[in-house]
Amino acid sequence: MKLEIHNMAGHLIRRLNQISMSIFNERMRATGHALTSVQFAAMNALHAKPGLDQASLAGVIAYDRATIGGVVDRLEGKGLVKRIVNERDRRARTITLTPEGEQILQELIPVVKRFQDEILLGLNEAERAEFLRLAAKVADAGNHLSRAPLILDRKP
């Protein structure tokens, strides 16, 4: 029996998130790496933009600023990132991938890319592209409503 919620955006988005997280976690276990999707996103961002501070890292991956420190702490504890004192502001710390972190990220990027189609099982290639286009459009339009908005360019 279909319920009214089964056709509601919020319910479907939650279910898709459950599916995505389940696949991500299963694939990480299979590689032998105990990384969360947020940790992977943080590492990916630090690869693209080495030397971000924690607040900028949170913005770039649209993650809560209040809890990004715990993500960085765990990555640092695994030896995947390091914090460096900012030369311009001795109170601030920048974050970079360690050589081990870079190596693991390069190993995992193809793994994560391979299972993206599985997350959107049931859609053909054109439908997947359209889904991603529409999902990005909705996320961009509602970005200002998020408790952790995506911030690509931080103004000094």
What gap in Å lies between CA 61 and CA 111, rounded to an integer? Answer: 19
34-70 pLDDT, tens per residue?
A: 999 999 999 999 999 999 999 999 999 999 999 999 9
Closest CA to 55 of 92, 101, 97: 92
What average pLDDT does range 4-9 have in this prediction? 94
99-124 pLDDT, tens per residue?
A: 999 999 999 999 999 999 999 999 99
- Which pTM value belongs to this model? 0.91
Neighbour tally for 95: CB within 10 Å:
24
Structure tokens at 95: 């974050």
Structural domains in the chain, CATH included, are: 20-145 (1.10.10.10)
Distance of CA 6 to the CA centre of its chain: 26
Name every residue whose Cβ is closer than 8 Å to that of residue 53 and which is 6 or more positions away in sequence.
86, 92, 93, 94, 95
